[in-house]
């Protein structure tokens, strides 16, 4: 049987339904949060860089697209790019909140709240990008 | 905010990733069938880019579901780290591809 460390109170939520806001984090768990937060910040920053680069490319391409094609271009390219950019910002914010869990400057509730927005944006982005493919798939498989 | 709320969003995002993954797979198989481009392992990268995060998100969602135990929450945090690393790899691949397409249009 594993011996419990008396200096490391477990991260246990309050009695009843779990509420992340009630959870306090100490010791090894705080270090785990800080480690995860670091990766989230790095990945979030990479997302922002990718979003900016992608937007710059699209702004250049948009000049050559006209009419109805430009509307689809905006929906299938520009909006997902903005979502990618925003998802990076939310991931960095989630990482910041998670990093501050041990010191009391952040909460798990804030971290998971921002993560939720990141996941929504990052899940919606590829679906929008694939919208123009629907017509093409219908042509290939009539 | 309750853990269940985060889990619901994780599930929704997982569904979006899986749907996107399948949307990528279908045209890829069509391309292979039509023989317009040779089938290469390289073609599978976009599929992996959609399905890998989806798989990690499924695990993350399972960890957060009914995570009234601290062990599950710790496990969720570790899976969150895996998710961040997988996403970082994919984003760096995306940046590299974009940069190459700009240098060699």
Residue among B12, B17, B92 minimizing CB distance to A46: B92
Q: Do B3 and A133 touch (CB under 8 A)?
A: no
Name the residue of chain A whose CA is nearest to B7's CA: A116
- The ipTM is 0.75
**Residues of B whose CB is below 8 A from A91:** 84
Q: How far apart are CA A117 and CA A52, in angstroms?
A: 19
Residue A62: how many other CB atoms lie within 10 Å: 14
Contact between A22 and A14 under an 8 Å Cβ cutoff? The reply is yes
Spatial CA neighbour of A57 closest among B93, B99, B90, B87: B99
Q: What is the pLDDT of residues B69-79, one digit of tens each?
A: 556 677 778 87
**Residues of B whose CB is below 8 A from A136:** 27
Distance to chain A for B17, nearest Cα, Å: 6
DSSP reduced 3-state for B39: coil
Contact between B11 and A29 under an 8 Å Cβ cutoff? The reply is no
The segment with the largest mean pLDDT, out of A22-31, A82-91, A108-117, B1-10, is A82-91
DSSP B31: H
Q: How far apart are CA A140 and CA A129, in angstroms?
A: 19
Site from A19, A38, A119, A122 to mutate, B interface, most B CB atoms within 10 angstroms: A119
Name the residue of chain A whose CA is nearest to B26's CA: A137
Spatial CA neighbour of B19 closest among B50, B48, B46: B50
**A28 or A35: whose pLDDT is higher?**
A35
Name the residue of chain B whose CA is nearest to A121's CA: B13
Radius of gyration in angstroms for the set of CA atoms belonging to chain B, rounded to a whole number: 17
Cβ contacts of A76 within 8 Å, gap of 6 or more: A128, A129, A130, A131, A132
Q: What is the pLDDT of residues A95-136, one digit of tens each?
A: 999 888 878 788 877 887 888 788 778 877 777 777 776 666
Q: Global pTM?
A: 0.72
Q: Is A57 on the interface with B (CB under 8 A)?
A: yes
* H-assigned helices in chain A: 27-62, 68-73, 79-99, 108-129, 131-140
Half-sphere exposure of A56 (CA within 13 A, CB side): 10
């Amino acid at each position: 049987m594993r011996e419990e460390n008396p200096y490391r109170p477990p991260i246990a939520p309050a009695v009843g339904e779990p509420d992340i806001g009630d959870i306090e984090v100490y010791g090894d768990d705080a270090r785990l949060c800080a480690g995860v937060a670091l990766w989230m910040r790095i990945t979030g920053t990479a997302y922002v860089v990718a979003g900016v680069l992608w937007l710059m490319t699209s702004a250049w391409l948009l000049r050559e697209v006209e009419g109805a094609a430009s509307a689809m271009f905006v929906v299938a390219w520009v909006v997902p790019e903005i979502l990618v950019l925003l998802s990076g910002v939310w991931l960095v914010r989630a990482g910041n909140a998670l990093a501050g869990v041990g010191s009391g400057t952040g909460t798990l509730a804030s971290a998971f709240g921002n993560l939720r927005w990141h996941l929504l944006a990052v899940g919606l982005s590829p679906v929008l990008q694939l919208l123009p493919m629907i017509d093409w798939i219908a042509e290939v498989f009539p | 905010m309750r853990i269940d709320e985060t889990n619901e969003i994780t599930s929704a995002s997982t569904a979006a990733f899986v749907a996107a993954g399948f949307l990528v797979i279908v045209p890829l198989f069509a391309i292979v069938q039509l023989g317009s481009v040779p089938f290469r392992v390289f073609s599978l990268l976009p599929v992996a880019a959609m399905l890998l995060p989806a798989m990690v998100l499924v695990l993350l969602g399972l960890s957060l579901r009914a995570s009234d135990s601290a062990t599950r929450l710790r496990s969720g945090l570790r899976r969150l780290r895996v998710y961040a690393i997988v996403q970082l790899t994919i984003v760096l691949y995306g940046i590299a591809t974009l940069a190459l397409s700009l240098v060699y249009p």
